Each structure stands twice: as C-alpha cells, then as structure tokens.
Structure 1
Amino acid sequence: MPRHVPVALASAGLAFALAACGGASTTDSGGQAAPDALNAKADLSKQSLTISIWDGYSPKDLPQQVKAKLGFDTKVAIHDTNETVMAKLTAGGDSGIDVAFVSGQYAQALNAQGLLEPLHPELIPNLKNLYPEATQLAYDKGNKFSVPYTWGTTGLCYRSDLVKTPPTSWNDLLNPSADLKKKITMMTTERWLALPALKLLGASVNTTDQATLDKAKAALLKVKPDLLAYDDTTFGDRLKSGEAVMVEAWDGWCPTDQKNIKFVVPKEGSDLWTDTMVILKSSKNKEAAHAFINYVLEPSVHGWVPANILYKVPNKAAMDTVDPALLKDHPELALPPADLLKGEGLIDLGEASTAYTRLSTEVAAAQ
C-alpha cells in the first residue's frame, strides 16, 4: 500500500485478546506498568532494536541513519494494520519488538494491560519539538506512554469541477443530491463508517450509547443504495478518474495535489486520529528505544513525513522545515494544530467496541 491507512478496523477481538494476555510483571493499580530503572549513560552500541511500522511510513534508509548517528543496529518489521501488530504484541511472552508504531487508541489499550514502558522524558529531550497541543491527546494526556508520530482528521474529498455545490456538511454525503448518487464512497473501517452519521447526529465518535448507534445505523442503511462503493483504499484513484466525485477520506489520502481535488472538514466536526511510537515493556533495549524515538523527533528526520507521504506531524520544528510550495499545493498540511484539535480524539473503547463491529457487519450485510 503506497501510504498508511490510519487506525484500521477497531477489532472486537482486541479487548478479549488483551484481557487474555498476562501483561507485564509489575504494574500499578490501573494496569500501567511501573517504570524500569534506565541508564542514561548506557553504551548504545551494545544494544539493538526491532521496530514494527507500516510500509512506507518512514525513510527506507532509517536503519542506516540510526546506525550512523546512534551506533546501534535497527531491524524493521512491517505490519499492514494495527490488528496485525496487536496480535503479535498481545500473544504473551516477548514479541521481539522493541518499538511499535500503533494508533492512539491501541497504544492506550496496550498501556492499560501493562505492556508498555512508561516514557522517560529525560531520555527524549526532543519532546520539546512537539506542539503544546500534542501533549493533550485524549488517549494519553501528557505523553506518559506514547509519542505521537502523525496526526490528522477525516473529511470530504471531492472534485470541485464535478460537483454542483462544494460540500460543507456530512449531510452532503448521507443525504446526497440526485447528481451525486452512485458517485460517492464511504469507508468501512468500523469507527469511520459510523463517524459521518454520529457527527450529523451531534454525537461523540466514542459513543457507546446503543440508541445513538441504532440511529447512526439507520442513516447508513438509508444512504447505502446511493453509494458507488465502500472504499478505504482506492477512493483517491476513483476521484482522479472521475468515477467518484465525492468520498469520505482521511486528509493524508485526499490527492489534493491533483487539479480540482479539494478536501473539507464538514461543519459538524470530525475526528482527530493519531499514530504513535511506543516502547514495549518486554524490550531489553529500552535505552536504545528512547534514543531512537528522540532521533525520529529531529526536525530533519520527522520532516520527511510531510515532505514525502503528505501527513502532518505533531512536531512544530519538523513542520517548520516543510517547503512553503508544498503547503500551498496541499493546504490540508497547513491546518493549524488548534484547528486539528477541534476534532474529537479517538479513544479505546475496550469491549464496548463490539457495538461498532456489530453495526458495520449489519450495514455490510444489508441488501
């Protein structure tokens, strides 16, 4: 996949997998692991790392960069979805992974089971490069167990030359005008399938109220006959070809570099998704793991992300390195953090996520 699909399917099995996992040997009363004693002067050349990340989500030569800068070897393991890496991390025992890139609510779930090392800020001085807003994320306020890597939101991506009126509301998607019917797509990833309907209802994207979810389901079933397709991966290509004229999309996947393709966050609001870096409690290389995260937060390193895969990073120093011409061509990259945080942060819902699984299953099965 050319770019990362943020926060794939919020699996109903996640809560049960976590509950079955033994977790770390020492935790506080809330489940979070107690911090280990780390050596700030450790010889990093005697350590090595295995990181797990989505394909194409970091520079290909990152291991070589780390070796040259920090003196230790880094092995990259690729996962395609959050579920893939979560299955490995929650299977019990040592997964062999030191640093994992997972989406925010998954980091929250891992931490609740004592599977993460609490961050040692003194070993990550480049935390100072983060926007202040990046310390106020709903799943981990204060960045106690995770460091945000990318962040963004969800909205409507559309062909300005093929729609009669530019969309401004989720209602434009869920109650499409006649000229849009069979020319629009929605995503099927559970939390994002429900998002447009929930926001149109004025509800939280983290709601577990069944009556509200039932109303959302009714709205999704109503629009289903008017959709061209459910599409989580190729909606950009459909827009480029003109097969689709408006799609539900993550901001980083809306191809706004193409003439006449625009992105808008509907007036009812949207979400705030975040992908993070976490250190596994089972890691035997925790000093190197902290050094790695600190290196990623270097402006020249973290700045690779917006410059190459068009995702915003919560690193002010890195965003300041972005070419102004790129920001002009991709205005969604220039969205200020304060505006981004108007979106509602996604959090782990535990076993309550089964309600979203049920909703998406029933919508998908409906004729």
Structure 2
Amino acid sequence: MPLHRALSIATLSLLALSAHAAEVLRVLAWPGYAEPEQVRQFEAKFNARVELTLVGADDELWLRASKNHGQNYDVLALNTAILQTFIDQGLAVPIQRTQIPNLKKQLPRFHKITALSRDGQLYAVPYTYSEMGLIYNRKLVKTPPKSMSEMWNPQYRDKVLAFNGSAHNFSVAAMQLGYPNPFRLSPQQIANTTRKLVDLRQNVFKFYNTPEEVVDLYRTNSIALIYANYGGQQIALLKKAGADIGYVIPNEGALAWLDCWAILPGAKNLNLAHAWINFTLGKEMSQQLVNQQGLNNTTQESVNNADNHKIIWLEPVENAAERANLWARIVGGHKK
C-alpha cells in the first residue's frame, strides 16, 4: 500500500475516532452527590466522560466556580443562598424546563421556590436538602442537648467538631446572640458574632470539611458534639461506623440548606448539562441520596420528619466576603 494512502487512511481513522470520542462534562459537587456507579450509568447512556470535582465548603465552591468567570466547569451543585450571588455575577445561565422532563417527578413544593428563578427564567433545579442539627455522643452527653449553645459549654472544651465554613457559622453564632435575622447582620452585630466564634474556637477540636473526615476524627478522638453541616448524611456515615450517637434539632431551630444544580457560563455542551440534571432526578440518583447518603431528595418526603421542626432556610448574607475574611482569621488562630 502506498505510504500516502496509508497516511490518509490513518488520518481518516483518527478523525472518526475523534468524532465519536466521549464528550466531557465537568461537574463541581459535594461528597455523595454523584457516586461512581451512577456516574458510570450516565457516561454509558450519553457516551460522555464525567470529570467530578468535590468541594468541602461554600467558600471553596465559590472560588473554584467563579474563577475564569465560570469557564472551568459545566454544572455545579450549590445552595439557594449562594445561587443569588451566581445570578448577580452572571455565573449561572438559564435552564430550559423542557429539557428536564423529570421535573414532573419532584414534589410540588419544590416548584414554588421563588429563589430559583429571576425575570421569568429558571436558574437552578433542586436536588437535595437537609437541616443542620446537632449530633451528640451518647457516651459523653447523657442528656440530649436542647440548644446549639451547648457547643460553647466549657465542659466540652476540645470535644467539639464544627464545620469549616464562614457563612453558616456566623449565622449560627448570631442565633445564639438572639439576633432576629442571622443572615443580615449590622457592623456591630458582625463584631459581636466574631467574638462569639472566637469563644467557640476554645471548644473546637477541629473545624472539619467533609462528612468522611468527621467519621475518622470521631473514631480516634473523644468527641462529644458535632455540628451536622451535612445533616442526615453525617448521621448515616457515623452510625455505619458503629458510633453511638443521637441527633437533635435545637429548640431555637436549625439552619437548613437546599442544594440545586445550576449550569455555568463555561458549559461546552448545554444539552449534556441538561441531561445530567435530568438524570440526577431519576430513580437511581434520587434513591442513592436516601439509601446511601442519608440525605433527602426532592421526589419523596423527608426521611427524618425534619419538616415538623423549626427549619430556617439559608438566605444570602449581608457580606459574604467579609464573613469569609473574618472566618479565615478566626480559624487561623486555632492551634489544632
């Protein structure tokens, strides 16, 4: 065979392979939101390759997703509070309802959340939610706590695990100070709340990032209380590890997050991005949230009846950057 013909055939073969190469979908999400088995199913169904990046805090999510004006990822999971900032900054693109037929499987209340839309355009689709209560070690805490204020109790010095995130912690501390709106703090309230968090630092063994990290810390240390930033997901993991724990929603109520899928401006294939969101609302992904992660999905009622307690849905805060900067200083002073 002539060399030029062989080269031509090789070139055509490479082009054919390239034409059929799997498209890449870059997903930014939280631990447990996209397990390997479900990812493989999606990849096989849509001839795609999923590049999954996991985050452990809202601050990290923002830094990763906003870098390069949202060009580094296609789809991300974010809560309704931070969603507003994404929309304001042009970091979320409208979602086409007609491309997500599984919306009809969701409970009706998730179609009535005004924070998901703006100017008639849908910007996010609810995926999972949980309240953030207080986990306690039954061996060290004999009476179930009634308030999140127990995290400040001197008897639990160096025995508390708190979440490493600025927005939530300022809101929790603000609630302990009795401020009526923990998401909109005045400069003086911010100063007071900062001091409150510095006080908390004395009791905190470590500020954690992921639910898996909590399990490891619990196994090897004397931990009395855990702020359950991941809600039921942490409860399920700890119980699976054999931990003798209890869980309460404090009398003053608990903050709660609703995580949704949104599409970033850098999405290279909008059809594939919509296909991912639709797939996550299907039976496989929705059930793994409940059965494997201990979380709630949006297609069936809450697994722990949290809706019967006082739940405070997250809202945008007065100044996320200021909270993040102050939080970095607070954590920076911690010795653990």
TM-score, with normalisation over the residues of structure 2?
0.76
Larger Rg: 2
1:114 corresponds to which residue? 90
CA separation of 1:292 and 1:262: change in aligned 2, threshold 3 A: same
CA separation of 1:216 and 1:302: change in aligned 2, threshold 3 A: same
CA separation of 1:339 and 1:141: change in aligned 2, threshold 3 A: farther
CA separation of 1:65 and 1:224: change in aligned 2, threshold 3 A: closer
- Aligned mates of 2:70, 2:275 — CA distance in 1: 21
Which has the higher mean CA deviation after the structures are superposed, 243-252 or 225-234? 225-234
Find 1:230's aligned residue among 200, 207, 216.
207
- Deviation sequence 1:303-360 (CA, Å, 0-9, x none): 11222222222222xx6xxxxxxxxxxxxx62336347x432223447x113312432
Looking at secondary structure, tell me which structure has more helix per residue.
2
2:234 corresponds to which residue? 253
Which has the higher mean CA deviation after the structures are superposed, 194-203 or 77-86? 77-86
- Aligned mates of 2:75, 2:189 — CA distance in 1: 37
Query: C-alpha root-mean-square deviation of aligned residues, in Å?
Result: 3.2
**Contact 1:195/1:270, CA 8 A, preserved across alignment:** no
Looking at secondary structure, tell me which structure has more strand per residue.
2
Report the alpha carbon displacement of residue 56 of structure 1 after superposing the two structures with TM: 4.7
For 2:304, the aligned partner's letter is L
The SS at the match of 2:194 is: helix
The SS at the match of 1:105 is: helix
1:357 corresponds to 2:324: yes
**Contact 1:197/1:220, CA 8 A, preserved across alignment:** yes
**Contact 1:52/1:76, CA 8 A, preserved across alignment:** yes
TM-score, with normalisation over the residues of structure 1?
0.70
For 2:261, the aligned partner's letter is M
Find 2:264's aligned residue among 266, 280, 285.
280
Listed as ranges, the matches of 1:1-367 within 5 Å are 48-54=23-29, 56-69=32-45, 71-81=46-56, 86-87=62-63, 89-92=65-68, 95=71, 97-137=73-113, 139-140=115-116, 144-174=122-152, 176=153, 178=155, 180-203=156-179, 204-233=181-210, 234-241=213-220, 243-250=222-229, 251=231, 252-254=233-235, 255-257=238-240, 258-316=242-300, 334-336=303-305, 338-339=307-308, 342-349=310-317, 352-364=319-331
For 2:311, the aligned partner's letter is G
The SS at the match of 1:303 is: helix
Among all aligned residue pairs of Structure 1 and Structure 2, give the percentage whose two residues are the same amino acid. 20
CA separation of 1:94 and 1:155: change in aligned 2, threshold 3 A: closer
Structure 1: runs of 5 or more not aligned: 1-44, 320-332
Kindly report structure 1 stretches of 4+ aligned residues shifted beyond 6 Å: none
Report the alpha carbon displacement of residue 83 of structure 1 after superposing the two structures with TM: 5.0
CA separation of 1:80 and 1:357: change in aligned 2, threshold 3 A: closer
The SS at the match of 2:178 is: coil
1:20 corresponds to which residue? none
Structure 2: runs of 5 or more not aligned: 1-19
**Contact 1:202/1:268, CA 8 A, preserved across alignment:** no
Give the total of aligned pairs.
Answer: 303
CA separation of 1:123 and 1:268: change in aligned 2, threshold 3 A: same
**Contact 1:47/1:285, CA 8 A, preserved across alignment:** no
1:324 corresponds to which residue? none
